[in-house]
Structures are given as structure tokens and as C-alpha cells.
Amino acid sequence: MRTNINIRLSLLLLALLAPLFLRAQGDPAVLLRTLLESGRITAVYNYDLDGNVPLNGCGTAVLEGNCFRLSSGSLQILCDGSAIYTVDTSAKEVYIENADSAGSPLKDPERLLSGIRDLKYNGNTVSGSIDDPQKGSVLNFLLTDISRSAASGSLDEFRFDTASAGPDWVITDLR
């Protein structure tokens, strides 16, 4: 399950960020870093992952600097820049790992930008496909309600407060 989550995370972040600098001039990786440092990006996403194990889903994404939050039903993936928290509220489980050792997708924009195709941008809606030849999969995505705003300056929404979890929660901290 963990590998599928990392695949989904990387591909969804790429899908969310790519259209925001499509028409800009210059190195896309530099533009991506500049965009992430300049404020907050939010969007609603839908995806279908075609491959050995097909997946589909929808949710919301928030990105700010090197932090992000993906929410889809009872699953949340949070990153405060130093740790990634994979939270399943229905199972009452949290998996925490160091963002550097987990390979946070925002730390390698060049890799994020490779593989995107059939990108269509229509105002506030983006669709397209991303190939992952290593996994033999294709992610088809649709992003809506894309917006940019000022950074909040707080990391609280990008962390899971383990102290607030009850005794029935399973917390696996690998940092």
C-alpha cells in the first residue's frame, strides 16, 4: 500500500503543479521552485491510474513551499518539509517518515516534470496523462478549482499531532 501511496502522491503533485507554469519562460524546474516559494496552491483532483493495480479517486490538495496536504476520504498525506505523515483516520493509523529518506516529490522538480503528456488547460480546469514506465502505469487526471493565495505561514495543517491521537491509534514513527 505504501508504494502505491508514493506513486499517487508524486503523480498528483506533478499534475497539480505543471499547468501553473506552462506558459512561463525559462527552466520549468526553476519556475516550479519559484511558484512553490511564492504562496499557496489549492485544487480539487480526480484521477484514474491504469496499471497492474488500477486505482482511482478524488480529493483536495494544498501546497505551500515544500509542504503539502493531500486528502481523499479517510486518507491524508501530510508533509511539513521534514516529515511525511500518511494518516488513515478510518483505521486509526499514522505512518511517519523523514521527508528526505522518503523522497518527497517536491524536492526533485525535474523528475516530477518528466512524463507528462496530453496536457489541456482551460482556465481553471486541467486534464492530462502522466506515464510511469518503471511501473508500467498511466495516470489520467482532472484538476478543478485551482487557486493561488498568500502563504499561511503556519505548518500546523501540514503535520499530524500525535499527542492528540487516542490510545487506540497505531503510530509508526520511522524518523
> How much is the pLDDT for 23?
47
- What is the pLDDT at residue 129? 82
pLDDT beyond 90 at 99: no
CATH numbers and ranges of domains, the chain = 2-173 (2.50.20)
pLDDT of 16 above 70 = no
Exposure string (b/e) for 81-110, b if CB count within 10 Å is 16 or more? Answer: bebbbbbbeeeeebbbbebeebebbbeebe
Task: State the chain's mean pLDDT as an integer.
Answer: 76
In DSSP terms, 96 is beta-bridged to 85, 173
Stronger pLDDT, 174 or 27, i.e. the higher one: 174
